[in-house]
Structure formats: structure tokens, C-alpha cells
Structure 1
């Protein structure tokens, strides 16, 4: 596996989970589509954090001469959008899903700097809402740099509210899941090693991948954050993920490439968490 120290500098990152119509719960992570060969490859990278930036930069012109905006996905870097100014803040659980690709701006009404597609990793895009203004929603995105945000029009969105919250304490090496304010469980987990730490701050549950032929985990749950020290890992974009691990001896240790390895019981509960749900990682 080729590993490179990240050369991208902080500027703005990219995202997934539940506008206009509000329901009680967004779609759950469990039971979404099984990962085909291409996604299985992506899933394998997510466990460590790697990959190359597949997205065009804002303002890049395609062969036709017209400007093509970059897609706000886990594969892109969006340096022209604002960062999350309050990475430790707690949201109200509101998540939105664009019914179609929507423009992403640095400010409400400003020119679009990127586009948020309606799907991510073959599943629906659900991103958490950080702020709302008349006609606009500021959302957390799944791109690099970590914590990148953008404003999207409120029209054409489906909204829901996730009552779940995931917290990872890197110091204690524990994961806690709550639902409607009540603790579902706390589990010891394996986190990033000193040279490949798990990134801190708030992110969200981006996707759910079920490999057809699982090796170390039956389910891989990417989040909207990337490794700060690995630019590539096995050919992927360095996306951090929750996943299982065959050996229980790793739990409670700092031994991963940035991902969070969880016990089977934790993975089962995480599989029930809606996409777009807040993930808070603290040290």
C-alpha cells in the first residue's frame, strides 16, 4: 500500500445524511446496498485513510470550455469554502438530502463553488445542517479539508432529524452511542496510532458499505473526515471509517491508520444509525 504524507493545507473540506419536508428519522445505515467490487476496494482504503483526489478544482475548465464545478464528495478537496468554526458544537440533529445535485456556495446567494450530488459511494447523500437562514442551509461536507462547509439552497431538499449521536474519545479510546439523549452503549475501540492519528472535530456518518466477501469486517461505515497524515492508502482518498476487526486484542489501543475499529456489538448498533448523524471525535 502506498502511503504519502498529506500535502493539502487547511482551507475547506467535504460529505452525508438527511429541507422542506421533515420526517422523524432519516434512512438508516443498515441494509443499504451491498458494495460491488469497486466499492469494496474503496471500503478497504477507508480503514486506513487513503486515496487520490479525483475531483476537479473550482474553476477548472473541461474540454468543452465551460466551467465545471467540483463535486463535494469524499474524493475532492474544496479549498474555496469556509471551515467549521465551531467543531466542538452540538447540532440539533437536522440532516438534509438533496433530491438532485445542488450548488454549494461560500455564503447564501454567492456564486457556486462546488456541487453536492444526491448520492455518495452508491448511497444517498445525507449531510448535517449547521446553520439555517431563509432559503438556505449551511451543511458539513464530506470533502477535504476536514470540517469544510457550504451553503445550499433550501429548495429541493428532504429533511429529517436524527436523534442519534456518536462520540469517540481518543484519550480513553472509547466510543459512546446515544439515542434520544439516552446511552445505547459504550465500547472500547482501536484508534489511530501516533503517526497516523484519528482526526478530531465533528463529522458525520457518510455511508454504509457491505462487502460481498468481507475480510476483516462485514460492514464499513465511512465518515466525512480524512486522515491528516496519509494522503493515500491503498489507492483511496484517505477517508476515515468505523469497521470491525477479527482480533479483540486491538481494542483500547492506538494502532490504526486513522480509522476506528469497533467490537461486533458496537458495529451492530452503529449499523442502525441514520446517515448524516453527527460524529464527535475528541482527544
Structure 2
């Protein structure tokens, strides 16, 4: 099977460092369909294509072994895939986003330096925003007016419990988006998405690119200087 917007096939290994907030500075973009393995020299479990739902795919590089490169797997949570060293190219990643669940705070970093922090709303009980490393998959136009007329970032992450989300959102990825008002910032009210102000979302849309790593943790050991 080809990894697409639906949940990725089972069997891929767990991310060995899911809560590491060290910036991942290299992205990998397939130039053709390539096999994704469960380990270096292991079993091929799926194919990764240059695009997902028409959006060019760039995945952060998580690990390297001789002849093999591991990436954060899209359409899955806290999983990596191993790729042989062919059929792809790399791009530099300058940005990173860190979300702290307990503090309802999102911080944008560039080259390891905190640029800005904003308050966010996160997933409600039973539909918590998934912890761990993921990345910005791509952007899409807002499907409804409640999103405040600002484009949405779709993430590589999916709900931890797909059956818990409303029927109309089944099959959707976790999103990073704004809302038509800011009344719920700092609360757990979403279906798992990360909700921030319209001005903050416009800033991120203008500054960060697909492939940018995003890490959700409970809290950083030290608050960022922009907090």
C-alpha cells in the first residue's frame, strides 16, 4: 500500500525519541515511490510517494544508519520509517514548533532560537492532542467560516483514538489552525487540533514550510524566553 491521508499501515517501529525537542534540521522528499521499511534491511511495509493528496511530501529526518535513513512517518503517531539511500532528496529545515499541553502554549523556533510564543486551545478529554513528534504535512483552505478565514496546516499526526472524534471528522488529521474567536484559548475544547489566534496562524503560514517538525510535550523543563 501507498501511505496516504488514511492511517498508515501497522508494523512501523516506534519513534525512539518521541518527546525530544532538539530541532530536526533536515527533511526528506521522495522523488519517486520508495519502499518504507520497519528496520534497516528489514521488511518493506508500504510505499511513500512524492505527494499525499496532491501535496508535496517532506518528512523530517529522525535517524541515520549506514545506507539507511529514518523519517517521521506521516498518517501515524510516534512512528518512524526506514528508507534506503535512494529515490529521495533532502532539504534544510530551519524552523520547529513546540506545543506544551499543560501550559497551553505554542512556541515557534528558528535555528534553535525562540521567535514567538502564543496561547493555544487543545484537545478535550478523550480527544487529547497527541503527544510526540510530528510535522507540518501541508496547508489547505478553511472548509468552514468557523476557522476564521485563515488557511489550515494539516499535520502528520492523526487522532490517538479515531473512534472518539465526531463522525464528520473521521479520517481527518490533527490540524494547526485558527478559529472565528479567541474565547477558548488556554482550554481543552478541540477535537485534538491545535487552535491559535488568527494573527499567529497568519504568521506561521507566512514563515514556516511543510516538513517543519512539531513536537507536543507536557511541558518544557524551562519556559522559552518568549513565554
Shorter-chain TM-score tier: 0.7 to 0.9
Which of the residues 107, 122, 132 maps onto 2:39? 107
Counterparts in 2 of 1:80 and 1:127: CA distance versus 1, 3 Å: same
Q: Secondary structure at the match of 1:268?
A: helix
Unaligned stretches of 5+ in structure 2? 219-227
Between the two structures, name the one with larger relative contact order (CA 8 Å, sep ≥ 6).
Answer: 1
CA–CA separation in structure 1 for the residues paired with 2:120 and 2:6: 26
Question: Matched residues in 2 for 1:222 and 1:78: separation?
Answer: 19
SS state at 1:205 partner: strand
Quote the offset at 1:91 in angstroms.
Answer: 4.5
Out of 92, 95, 101, which is 2:27 matched to? 95
Indicate whether 1:278 and 2:206 are aligned.
no
1:213–1:197 CA distance, 2 compared to 1 (3 A): closer
- Partners of 2:133 and 2:19 lie apart in 1 by 6
Matched length: 213
2:102 to 168, 171, 174: 171
The TM-score normalised by the length of structure 2 is 0.87
1:68-102: per-residue Cα shift (whole Å, max 9, x none)? xx222330332211111211222431111001111
Q: More strand by proportion, 1 or 2?
A: 2
Q: Distance in 1 between matches of 2:185 and 2:146?
A: 18
Distance 2:186 2:94 in 1: 27
Residue 151 (structure 1) aligns with: 82
User: Unmatched 5+ residue regions in structure 1?
Assistant: 1-69
Stretch of structure 1 that moved more, 201-210 or 106-115: 106-115
What TM-score do you get using the length of structure 1 for normalisation?
A: 0.71
